[in-house]
């Protein structure tokens, strides 16, 4: 009687039509993981030694702040547990119905599980087919959603809790719930399990390898990759529009782009990006570049490229410096280069705050160089500036100021981490699943590459910005801010202004942008775009995506404006182009970058961006 051959683990893992996994290759992969682990452990130990003798960096997940908020919430719940008891009852009832449905299905497999709780619209975590066709995963999904609903009900409905503390508790409770989603763990993710079976475990090995790579890149701290490593190279396949650096100082390089038309509008335009990321959000790939689109429409385009501080040499640079030596110096150079007494200017995010402050500073000057201003995703009223305010109060700001005083700058990694927390499912956990559970490289997506290319900020400037804007909301208060010895008042601004906010903006809520439309003293146009803080802004018309809303500015609330606003299909760029053209002047022969007085210092994209 012949002996049956032994069935190995690799034989079991084999699927029809696929080759068996190569044990030698798997062994090599495991050896490489061992080497990676050793390197990462050494790097982490070195980093910890350095941190033990270095001043601490600020962290948005400050355990002391979070603990204090939850303790205060717990005390309030103990004093009045009615809402907790109601949430508990609803949760237990939902679980009972779910278990009853599961038992019924076990007895009658032809009957599907009852949907006790529906998956929220737009929740991509449970889009894989197995979450509805497989009873086990369907049960797991529904149980998690019941618990997530309980978390929201308890954390969002605490009687007597200070509203600011309540917002913090709700936010961090949701972060915990997001982290606990079954999709974030191998045995709770049917897609990851399927990938592991189909690749004979190679996807898991690659996922662990990706995890170690990210640890190495973060020098012992997990730096989750959002884009394919090495795919984008600034100046080679992103930020490639031809131009020259025509002016620079300690804070900025000013880039003038080469024209693409024979004639241009007489009045040029300056683009002021946020200083927390690189300027090339305006110049992504050629087919989506905002700069190229403007050039092709016949504009002379300049852009500010902010410096990226690496040490304490710029620690003393202030908000006023960024306004006057940044925006102001760029505008003054443009006037001299083009010979035009006035120019159009556009600011995005904090770049819009610099432009707002400069516009108010020069509002009463006869030689005001601004002909028009455009503000994209810009906060004017910081009173209800969204979830970012969770991380800013007197105690947290004092800690941050002390850390920045020690380092001389605010580490851009911390700010990037904070922004990612605001959309943790999309910007953190989706990459954990893709990179580590699935063992895949992230997509080569230009917006996410830019999002990951953060910059540091001078200590004095950033501390002033957080305290005077987010904490004390001085920008919109008449005379509350002083620049260059002048008290500024947004009501003094008389130049035409165009304000664009986006409906799903998690960083600069659109209602805060609408507040600016009501306070600026000149003719103002307000437009609401679709999507969010970045995708909704840089929405090329050729894509024909999203929509935008227009309407007469009302002194009532933002929702009152939206209720009567007119909806338009496509990108807001087309409406802005019509508005901007009215401030462009006549056509003249196209300008080449620079002059004898302002010779080219470097080719675009310049050196500060690198």
State which fold the 243-387+478-603 domain adopts.
Rossmann fold (3.40.50)
pLDDT category, 2, cuts 50, 70, 90? Answer: very low
Whole-number pLDDT of residue 503: 96
- Give every CB contact of residue 134 below 8 A, 6+ residues apart in sequence: 190
Dist CA 130 CA 190 (whole Å) = 7
Q: What is the pLDDT of residues 338-378, one digit of tens each?
A: 999 999 999 999 999 999 999 999 999 999 999 999 999 99
**Could you write out the three-class secondary structure of 381-408?**
CCCCCHHHHHHCCHHHHHHHHHHHHHHC
Whole-number pLDDT of residue 515: 95
Whole-number pLDDT of residue 45: 60
In the block, residue with structure tokens 């974030």:
184
Contact 216, 39 (CB under 8 A): yes
Q: Is the pLDDT of residue 35 over 60?
A: yes
Q: Is the pLDDT of residue 4 over 60?
A: no
> Both ends of the chain: CA-CA distance in Å?
73
pLDDT category, 16, cuts 50, 70, 90? Answer: very low
Q: Is 112 helix (H, G, I), strand (E, B) or coil?
A: coil
Lowest mean pLDDT among 348-357, 420-429, 587-596: 420-429
**DSSP code of residue 307:** -
Whole-number pLDDT of residue 294: 98
Of 128, 134, 127, nearest to 102 by C-alpha is: 134
φ/ψ of 497, rounded to 5, equals -130, 145
Whole-number pLDDT of residue 23: 62
**What's this model's pTM, rounded to 2 decimal places?**
0.89
Of 391, 354, 347, 387, nearest to 509 by C-alpha is: 387
- Cis preceding linkage at 519, omega within 30: no
Q: What is the pLDDT of residues 205-222, one digit of tens each?
A: 899 889 988 888 877 778
**Could you write out the three-class secondary structure of 128-197?**
CCHHHHCHHHHHHHHHHHHHHHHHHHHHCCCCCCCHHHHHHHHHHHHHHHHHCCHHHCHHHCHHHHHHHH
Q: Are strands 524-529 and 547-550 parallel, antiparallel or unpaired?
A: antiparallel
Q: Are strands 243-248 and 252-257 parallel, antiparallel or unpaired?
A: antiparallel
Helices 135-155, 163-179: inter-axial angle, 10-degree rounding: 170
Q: Work out the mean pLDDT of the chain and round it to a whole number.
A: 90
Of 273, 299, 282, nearest to 234 by C-alpha is: 282
Whole-number pLDDT of residue 57: 63
CA 46 to chain centre: 30
Q: Is the pLDDT of residue 18 over 50?
A: no
Q: Which of 49, 95, 349, 512 is catalytic?
A: 349
Q: Is the pLDDT of residue 33 over 90?
A: no
DSSP string covering 426-475: IIIIHHHIIIIIS--PPP--HHHHHHH-B--EEHHHHHHHIIIIIIT--T
Q: Is the pLDDT of residue 17 over 80?
A: no
Q: Is the pLDDT of residue 24 over 90?
A: no
Q: Is the pLDDT of residue 526 over 90?
A: yes
349 catalytic? Reply is yes
Find the mean pLDDT for residues 586-602. Answer: 97
Q: Give the residue extent of every domain in the chain.
A: 63-180, 243-387+478-603
Whole-number pLDDT of residue 50: 56
Whole-number pLDDT of residue 403: 84
Whole-number pLDDT of residue 205: 86
Q: What is the pLDDT of residues 239-255, one digit of tens each?
A: 999 999 999 999 999 99
- The more confident residue out of 551 and 610 is 551
Q: Is the pLDDT of residue 8 over 80?
A: no
φ/ψ of 25, rounded to 5, equals -65, -40
pLDDT category, 386, cuts 50, 70, 90? Answer: confident
Find the mean pLDDT for residues 140-145. Answer: 96
Of 303, 356, 367, 360, nearest to 498 by C-alpha is: 356
Decide: residue 188, CB within 10 A, 0-12 exposed, 13-18 middle, 19+ buried. Answer: middle
pLDDT category, 274, cuts 50, 70, 90? Answer: very high
Buried/exposed 80-93: b ≥16 CB within 10 Å, e otherwise: eeebbeebeeebee
pLDDT category, 22, cuts 50, 70, 90? Answer: low
């Amino acid at each position: 009687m012949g002996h049956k051959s032994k069935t190995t683990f690799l034989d079991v893992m084999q699927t029809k039509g696929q080759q068996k996994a190569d044990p030698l290759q798997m062994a090599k992969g495991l050896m490489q993981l061992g080497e990676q682990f050793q390197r990462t452990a050494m790097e982490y130990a070195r980093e910890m030694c350095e941190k033990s003798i270095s001043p601490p960096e600020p962290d948005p997940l400050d355990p002391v702040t979070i603990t204090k908020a939850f303790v205060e919430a717990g005390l309030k719940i103990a004093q009045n547990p009615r809402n907790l008891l109601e949430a508990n009852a609803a949760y237990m009832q939902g679980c009972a119905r779910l278990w009853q449905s599961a038992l019924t299905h076990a007895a009658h497999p032809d009957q599907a599980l009852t949907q006790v709780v529906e998956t929220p619209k737009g929740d991509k975590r449970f889009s894989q087919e197995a979450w509805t066709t497989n009873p086990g995963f369907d049960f797991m999904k529904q149980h998690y959603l019941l618990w997530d609903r309980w978390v929201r009900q308890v954390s969002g409905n605490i009687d007597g809790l200070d509203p600011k503390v309540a917002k913090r508790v709700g936010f961090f409770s949701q972060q915990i719930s997001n982290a606990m989603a079954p999709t974030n763990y191998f045995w709770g993710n049917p897609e990851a399990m399927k990938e592991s079976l189909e690749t004979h475990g190679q996807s898991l090995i690659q996922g662990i390898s990706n995890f170690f790579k990210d640890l190495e890149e973060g020098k012992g701290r997990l730096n989750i990759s959002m884009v394919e490593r090495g795919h984008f190279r600034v100046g080679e396949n992103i930020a490639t529009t031809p131009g020259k650096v025509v002016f620079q100082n300690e804070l900025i390089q000013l880039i003038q782009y080469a024209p693409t038309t024979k004639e241009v509008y007489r009045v040029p335009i300056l683009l002021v990006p946020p200083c927390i990321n690189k300027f090339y959000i305006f110049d992504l790939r050629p087919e989506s570049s905002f700069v190229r689109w403007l050039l092709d429409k016949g504009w002379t385009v300049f852009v500010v490229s902010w410096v990226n501080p690496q040490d304490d040499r710029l620690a003393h640079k202030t908000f006023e410096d960024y306004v006057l030596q940044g925006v102001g110096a760029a505008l003054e150079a443009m006037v001299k280069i083009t010979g035009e007494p006035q120019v159009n200017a556009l600011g995005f995010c904090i770049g819009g705050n610099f432009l707002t402050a400069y516009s108010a500073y020069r509002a009463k000057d006869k030689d005001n160089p601004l002909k028009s201003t455009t503000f994209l995703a810009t906060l004017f009223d910081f009173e209800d500036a969204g979830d970012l305010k969770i991380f800013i109060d007197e105690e947290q700001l004092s800690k941050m100021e002390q850390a920045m005083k020690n380092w001389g700058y605010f580490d851009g990694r911390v700010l990037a981490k904070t922004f990612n927390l605001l959309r943790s499912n999309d910007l953190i956990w989706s990459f954990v699943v893709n990179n580590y559970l699935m063992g895949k490289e992230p997509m080569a997506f230009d917006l996410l590459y830019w999002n990951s290319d953060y910059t540091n900020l001078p200590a004095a400037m950033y501390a002033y910005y957080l305290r005077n804007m987010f904490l004390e909301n001085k920008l919109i208060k008449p005379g509350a801010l002083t620049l260059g010895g002048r008290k500024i008042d947004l009501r003094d601004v008389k130049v035409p202004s165009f304000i664009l906010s986006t409906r799903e903006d998690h960083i600069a809520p659109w209602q805060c942008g609408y507040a600016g439309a009501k306070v600026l003293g000149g003719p103002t146009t307000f437009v609401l775009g679709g999507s969010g803080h970045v995708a909704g802004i840089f929405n090329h018309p050729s894509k024909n995506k999203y929509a935008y809303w227009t309407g007469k500015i009302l002194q009532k609330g933002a929702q009152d404006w939206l209720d009567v606003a007119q909806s338009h299909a496509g990108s807001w760029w087309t409406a802005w182009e019509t508005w901007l053209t009215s401030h462009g002047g006549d056509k003249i022969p196209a300008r080449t970058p620079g002059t004898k007085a302002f010779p080219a210092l470097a080719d675009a994209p310049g050196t500060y961006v690198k």
